[in-house]
Amino acid sequence: MYQILDGKTVSAYVKQQVKDEVALLAENGSVPALAVIIVGNDPASKVYVGNKKKACEMTGMKSIEYALDENTSEEELLALIDKLNGDKEVNGILCQLPLPKHINEDKIIDAIAPEKDVDGFSAVNVGKIWLGKYEISPCTPMGVIELLDYYKIPLEGKNCVVVGRSNIVGKPMAALLLERNATVTICHSRTKDLASFTKNADVIVAAVGRANFITADMVKDGAVVVDVGINRLESGKLCGDVDFENVKEKASFITPVPGGCGPMTIAVLMKNTLVAYKAQNK
Ligand code: NAP
């Protein structure tokens, strides 16, 4: 019998912890502030930015939104980031991805001061994760760790297979699992015989971006299955990278989509903004 890893419940718990700390700070007259930049009119990005704004309201933090025109130049965006880097009233800066094609995303991510990079995407913060010396962690992978911790799922010595090696999910996910003393395998599009790896996994983290990609025959009995994927079907329905209906019968724990990793990402963003505030106001 499987158990659901309930991202809604755990994210509410994490956000409540942040809210309690922010309330104490508010008594002294200041709260963390998150600047959220969105460029253009991508509907999904607007939804994500709206959810981040709501999370700031819920936790008592200040959110400042910069909604920029689709035609904003790279120089204009860099100038805004430079201004926010120097603004003592701003503790976290987030630039919603994807950006329009004429803007170099890597350049923008690396322009954000590492101490304000609450997404944890910059080269400095990613490097620190591999060194095991980080304060700000990438939101989605850390959300997975928080979810597993809440359900007291042990990672030490476990075979963990991460499917996907992107800079924002797969690679930092592997680094965080390694730090927890798991034995980590990273699989990707060039991996030969993917199922031979997943079938031996105690924990599978799927971050591929393909609907129902991980099927029941790829999963061993009792595995913990974490689905980071968010895919929209032609029907408009959201689904993950895991064939949930069939895989759940083999899993011991499994995340739903929606309601699994998605809410955790935003909860960690709130936590990171608080961490950034505290580091800047020692
Ligand atoms: P991405 O940059 O497109 O990376 C996808 C990864 O999957 C790549 O490393 C790719 O391998 C690998 N892959 C593709 N086809 C494969 C195959 N047939 N076998 C094995 N590996 C394969 O995507 P991402 O940004 O990491 O996101 C992954 C998913 O997570 C997406 O659905 C995204 O929407 C979702 N996501 C969710 C959250 C959240 O908050 N829950 C946050 C971020 C992303 P190569 O490197 O070899 O090309």
Residues 257-276 pLDDT 10s: 999 999 999 999 999 999 99
Return all residues near 44 (Cβ < 8 A) that are at least 6 apart.
none
Answer yes or no: 101 catalytic. Answer: no
Q: Quick check: 72 pLDDT over 90?
A: yes
Counting ligand 1 atoms within 8 A of each CB, the residue from 167, 188, 194, 233 with the most, and so the one to mutate, is 188
pLDDT of residue 276: 98
User: Which residue type is seen at 32?
Assistant: P
What whole-number percentage of the chain has pLDDT above 70? 100
Q: Quick check: 163 pLDDT over 90?
A: yes
Q: Quick check: 282 pLDDT over 90?
A: no
For the chain, residues classed under CATH 3.40.50.720 are 139-262
Q: How would residue 55 be classed by pLDDT, with cut points 50, 70 and 90?
A: very high
**Paired sense of beta strands 238-239 and 231-232, if any:** antiparallel
The rounded distance, in Å, linking the Cα atoms of 66 and 112 is 15
Q: Ligand 1 centroid vs 229 CA: distance in angstroms?
A: 7
pLDDT of residue 266: 97
Superfamily of domain 29-113, CATH level 4: Leucine Dehydrogenase, chain A, domain 1 (3.40.50.10860)
Q: Which helix (H) or strand (E) holds 82?
A: helix 74-85
pLDDT of residue 182: 98
Pick the CATH number of 139-262 from 1.10.760.10, 3.40.50.720, 3.20.20.190, 1.10.150.20: 3.40.50.720
238 DSSP β-pair partners? 232
Q: Quick check: 78 pLDDT over 90?
A: yes
Q: Which residue, among 249, 176, 180, has the nearest Cα to 207 in the 3D structure? A: 176
State the residue for tokens 């895989």: 247
pLDDT of residue 82: 98
Phi-psi region of 93 (alpha: psi -120 to 50; beta: other; left: phi over 0): beta
Q: Quick check: 181 pLDDT over 90?
A: yes
For the chain, residues classed under CATH 3.40.50.10860 are 29-113
The structure's pTM equals 0.97
The rounded distance, in Å, linking the Cα atoms of 217 and 64 is 47
> Residues 15, 62, 8, CA angle at the centre, nearest 5°?
20
pLDDT of residue 124: 95
Average pLDDT, the chain: 97
**Section 54-77 average pLDDT:** 98
Q: Quick check: 178 pLDDT over 90?
A: yes
pLDDT of residue 227: 98
Answer yes or no: 96 catalytic. Answer: yes
Counting ligand 1 atoms within 8 A of each CB, the residue from 230, 241, 266 with the most, and so the one to mutate, is 230
Q: Catalytic one among 96, 158, 171, 248?
A: 96
Q: Ligand 1 centroid vs 47 CA: distance in angstroms?
A: 20
Q: Ligand 1 centroid vs 30 CA: distance in angstroms?
A: 38
Structure tokens at 2: 């499987």
User: How is residue 241 annotated by DSSP?
Assistant: S
What whole-number percentage of the chain has pLDDT above 90? 99
R_g of the chain, CA atoms, integer Å: 19
